[in-house]
Amino acid sequence: MKILISNDDGIRATGLNALRESLQDQHQVYVVAPDRERSATGHKITLDRPLRVKEWTYPGSSAIGWEVDGTPADCVKLGLEALLPEPPDLVVSGINFGPNLGTDVLYSGTVSAAVEGMINDIPSIAISLASFEFNDFSFSSKIIKEVVSAIDGELSPRTLLNINTPPCAPRGIKVTRLGDRRYVNIFDKRIDPRGRVYFWMGGEPFDLDKDDPETDVWAIREGYISMTPVQFDLTDYDFMNRLENICKKIGGQAPDL
């Protein structure tokens, strides 16, 4: 297969290189990744300035790479539309250093890179090592290699597979849904030498449904690999009929044009 890989930790990231090395022997791999860390940029794209691109070489490897001074979504969009010689069969984003669980997927540059593939009707996978301390990507690399082989032709181009691997020998694999993850945000207020106020943002996650064995957060906490199929349709279908009735109270439906 022809596979486009990207990430949000930057083109020099250990996880990205581990991903490339795990796939390049059996597939033609193209790397389009940010020139530096772009974590938690979500699906931001760059419209207010040009994007700068440099070719990136991997001696002894058939992989072809480019670094981009943009976001993960920029990288995949640019790769698909301007850099790759032909459309890839698969987009894989990662291996992220840190989890992407529950509502993390709305902030994650890693997941957004895969979403960009999905928007372009290309089967896409995001994979993350669910730890900020353990940085051995060897097992995550093994898993993604097996997943890519097993899922060939099975993954819908309108579905993204979000994978999280635990920082330990896994107890198995769980097919999960996104958990309800929130954050206790901390804003550290400081003053610069010119007297101007600025803030550093941090925080810790807490999970409202952490005891639900159907969720990705539960699976990782219990030492399982989590695999969650994700779609970008955020429509609340259950609320649509109620909303129709509400609209009648505020002027009714718009006339047919």
Give the torsion sign (CA, 194, 195, 198, 200): positive
Give the strand pairing for 124-129 and 64-68: unpaired
At residue 95, the pLDDT reads: 98
In a domain, 44, yes or no: yes
Nearest to 103 by CA among 163, 180, 8: 180
Per-residue pLDDT of 109-150, as tens digits, reads 999 999 999 999 999 999 999 999 888 999 999 999 999 999
pLDDT at residue 202 is higher than 60? yes
In a domain, 154, yes or no: yes
Report the greatest alpha carbon distance in the chain: 67
Which residue has 């925080």 as its token pair? 203
In a domain, 255, yes or no: no
Give the torsion sign (CA, 67, 68, 72, 74): negative
Three-class DSSP category at 220? helix
Whats the size of the chain, residue-wise? 257
pLDDT at residue 224 is higher than 90? yes
pLDDT at residue 199 is higher than 90? yes
Q: Which domain holds residue 131?
A: 2-178+209-240
In a domain, 25, yes or no: yes
pLDDT at residue 257 is higher than 80? no
In a domain, 219, yes or no: yes
What CATH number does the domain containing 37 carry? Answer: 3.40.1210.10
In a domain, 251, yes or no: no
- Number of domains, the chain: 1
Predicted confidence band of residue 236 (pLDDT cuts 50, 70, 90): very high
In a domain, 10, yes or no: yes
At residue 223, the pLDDT reads: 96
At residue 134, the pLDDT reads: 86
In a domain, 130, yes or no: yes
At residue 252, the pLDDT reads: 55
What is the phi-psi region of residue 205: left when phi exceeds 0, alpha when psi lies from -120 to 50, beta otherwise?
beta
Nearest to 3 by CA among 15, 13, 26, 18: 26
At residue 256, the pLDDT reads: 61
**Rounded Cα distance, 55 and 161, in Å:** 29
**Rounded Cα distance, 78 and 90, in Å:** 15
**Rounded mean pLDDT, 224-247:** 94
Three-class DSSP category at 166? coil
Give the strand pairing for 90-97 and 124-129: parallel
Please, what is the angle between helix 14-23 and helix 138-151, to 10°?
Answer: 40
Per-residue pLDDT of 12-28, as tens digits, reads 999 999 999 999 999 99
Lowest mean pLDDT among 69-78, 167-176, 248-257: 248-257
User: What is the value of pTM for the model shown?
Assistant: 0.92
Per-residue pLDDT of 32-86, as tens digits, reads 999 999 999 999 999 999 999 999 999 999 999 999 999 999 999 999 999 999 9
At residue 207, the pLDDT reads: 84
Predicted confidence band of residue 152 (pLDDT cuts 50, 70, 90): confident
At residue 210, the pLDDT reads: 83
Q: How far is CA 141 from each of CA 4, 6, 24, 117, rounded to the nearest angstrom? A: 16, 14, 12, 20
Nearest to 18 by CA among 130, 143, 124: 143
Per-residue pLDDT of 88-112, as tens digits, reads 999 999 999 999 999 999 999 999 9
**Rounded Cα distance, 175 and 58, in Å:** 35
**Helices (H) then strands (E): counts for the chain:** 7, 11
* 257 or 154, which is more confident: 154
